[in-house]
Amino acid sequence: MTAAQEFEKANEKYASSFTKGDLALPPAKQVTVIVCMDARIDPAASLGLQEGDAHVHSSLPHYLITG
């Protein structure tokens, strides 16, 4: 099974039991977290975030322009 097939299967399982559709779209903590692209780090776990707490973007720093 390819990685893409594994992802699709995992997503189907996740979607079939998803019960958090009632969470508000804006993040509860009113923050966006920008993290590096490091597969070893789970941003939500490392910051104590739950689903719906924050928008989390990884690898976005590559596109940020600092002045």
Q: Which pLDDT value is given to residue 52?
A: 95
Assessment of whether the complete model's pTM goes beyond 0.75: no
Q: Which domain holds residue 47?
A: 24-67
Q: Which pLDDT value is given to residue 19?
A: 95
In a domain, 1, yes or no: no
Short-list 30, 31, 41, 36, CA closest to 64:
36
Q: What does the alpha-carbon distance between residue 33 and residue 44 come to, in Å, rounded to a whole number?
A: 9
Tally the C-alpha atoms within 13 A of residue 1's C-alpha that lie toward its C-beta.
8
Short-list 26, 23, 19, CA closest to 54:
26
Q: Which pLDDT value is given to residue 35?
A: 85
Q: Given the structure tokens 């920008």, which residue do they identify?
A: 34
pLDDT per residue rounded down to tens, the chain (67 residues): 999 999 999 999 999 999 999 999 899 999 999 888 888 989 999 999 999 999 998 876 566 666 5
Domain count, the chain: 1
